[in-house]
Amino acid sequence: MTTSSAAATVGPTASGVDVGTGPVPAAWSMPAETAPHACTWMAWPGTGYTLGATAADADQARTTWAAVAHAVAEHEPVHMLVPPHELAEARRRLGGAVVLHEAPLDDAWYRDVGPTFVLGADGLGAVNWVFNGWGQQGWASWELDARASEVATTVSDAVRVDSALVNEGGGIHADGAGTFLLTETVQLDPLRNPGWTRADVEVELARTVGLRHAVWLPRGLTRDGERFGTKGHVDIVATFTEPGRVLLHDQRDPQHPDHRVTQELRAVLEAAVDADGRPLEVTPLPAPYVLRDAEGWVDYSYVNHYVANGAVVSCAFGDPADAEAADILRAAYPGREVVQLDSRPLFARGGGIHCITQQQPTG
């Protein structure tokens, strides 16, 4: 299939630069992840650190990505971008459960390189952010990933909504009613958006995804702020379960540097309100008991789950806290099955289940 988009582009950027040729449509809004999905989009690991350096590494990556895809496909259709040289392997592991789309890729984090889907008077829209390797990280390559959002935009027949904001899907969370969680170290990163202010970001998010009110968190988790991280994605820290209710990663062990971080974030969230002026109700979601791996302090997080139709596909870590986290998620998402998958191979590569999935809402 082609990776070029024939969809119309619309709208100016927050800085006033015209990025589109079509008329500005009625306001777009990003539904909550809990809203009904038409399908889920993913990308298959095919090269570099994501696939790994050895045959065992590659098998582990393919097995883990396939497990997530199969878990989601039990509840809704799944579309997978696959590099050409991995098509046979992806077909073997995924069978007919997943629709495959041949596309060149640098990486496999489609939450970040894919579009953010929105709804509006013109139907389905797909916001195509600028992607520059999580703020021009020296270890990242992004020439191919910078165009990967075109695949889902075209196949979904969405109106293309271009933005000059350097942003990733893992850098925002929406309650579906106009309130967004953002992180200063992501949207205001000078290697992402030099010269942009909070106001600039909020104006652009109002135009593209329907932001009415932003709750700015000062940073993300410790490891995610280190060399091989995203510089603070919110989808590993906090998420909305419904308007006014937030789950927050809670590192309870004072030995871990995230103990202080999550205390700071909780204070910010408990002082915040949503777009309708309601205080946020914050529920702690415990971090696993394990504190370190071979690389240092872990950022294992149950917050990095994916809400599919009728299910919550959640990270597990072979940890005593897995069961407690599952109980909290069942209470937070009543009526949905909680499916836990070992996500240590994902976190060893820099992300989690939410990072490799992207919802396309029904609309």
pLDDT (tens digit per residue) in 253-277: 999 999 999 999 999 999 999 999 9
Q: What is the greatest pairwise CA distance in the chain?
A: 54
Inform me whether the pLDDT recorded for 112 exceeds 70.
Answer: yes
Inform me whether the pLDDT recorded for 18 exceeds 90.
Answer: no
Per-residue model confidence (pLDDT) at position 41: 99
In degrees rounded to 5, what are phi and psi of residue 316? Answer: -135, 155
Inform me whether the pLDDT recorded for 25 exceeds 70.
Answer: no
Question: Which residues fall within 8 angstroms of residue 194, CB to CB, at 6 or more apart?
Answer: none
Question: Which residues fall within 8 angstroms of residue 250, CB to CB, at 6 or more apart?
Answer: 262, 266, 284, 285, 286, 287
Question: What percentage of the chain exceeds 90 in pLDDT?
Answer: 92
Side chain identity, residue 89: E
238, 311, 339, 355: the catalytic one is 355
Query: Confidence class of residue 123 from pLDDT cuts 50, 70 and 90?
Result: very high
Minimal CA–CA distance to 108: which of 167, 71, 62? Answer: 62
Asked if residues 33 and 186 have their Cβ atoms less than 8 Å apart, the reply is no
Cα–Cα distance, 127 to 263 (Å, whole number): 33
**Mean pLDDT of all residues belonging to the chain:** 93
Question: Which residues fall within 8 angstroms of residue 296, CB to CB, at 6 or more apart?
Answer: 223, 226
Whether 355 is catalytic is yes
Per-residue model confidence (pLDDT) at position 289: 98
The token duo for 24 is 């500005």
Query: Taking residues 318-336, what's their average pLDDT?
Result: 98
Per-residue model confidence (pLDDT) at position 17: 35
The token duo for 296 is 């240092």
Instruction: Provide the b/e sequence for 268-283 (b: ≥16 CB within 10 Å).
Output: bbeebebbeeeebebe
Element (H, E) at 324: helix 321-332
Per-residue model confidence (pLDDT) at position 363: 82
The DSSP-derived string for 256-320 is: STHHHHHHHHHHHHHT-B-TTSPBPEEEEEEPPS--EETTEE----TTS-EEETTEEEEEE-SST
Asked if residues 245 and 281 have their Cβ atoms less than 8 Å apart, the reply is yes
Inform me whether the pLDDT recorded for 19 exceeds 80.
Answer: no
**Which domains, from first to last, does the chain contain?**
37-361 (3.75.10.10)
pLDDT (tens digit per residue) in 144-177: 999 999 999 999 999 999 999 999 999 999 999 9
Per-residue model confidence (pLDDT) at position 270: 98
Tokens 């100016």 sit on residue: 12
pLDDT (tens digit per residue) in 43-55: 999 999 999 999 9
The C-alpha angle 326, 329, 332, rounded to 5 degrees, equals 155
Side chain identity, residue 2: T
Q: Which residues share a beta bridge with 281?
A: 245
pTM: 0.93
Minimal CA–CA distance to 283: which of 247, 241, 234? Answer: 247
Inform me whether the pLDDT recorded for 57 exceeds 90.
Answer: yes
Query: Confidence class of residue 84 from pLDDT cuts 50, 70 and 90?
Result: very high
Inform me whether the pLDDT recorded for 32 exceeds 80.
Answer: yes
pLDDT (tens digit per residue) in 180-200: 999 999 999 999 999 999 999
Sheet holding 311-316, edge to edge: 306-308, 311-316, 337-342
Per-residue model confidence (pLDDT) at position 27: 87
Query: Taking residues 112-121, what's their average pLDDT?
Result: 97
Per-residue model confidence (pLDDT) at position 242: 98
Per-residue model confidence (pLDDT) at position 22: 37
Inform me whether the pLDDT recorded for 102 exceeds 90.
Answer: yes
Per-residue model confidence (pLDDT) at position 244: 98
Inform me whether the pLDDT recorded for 9 exceeds 50.
Answer: no
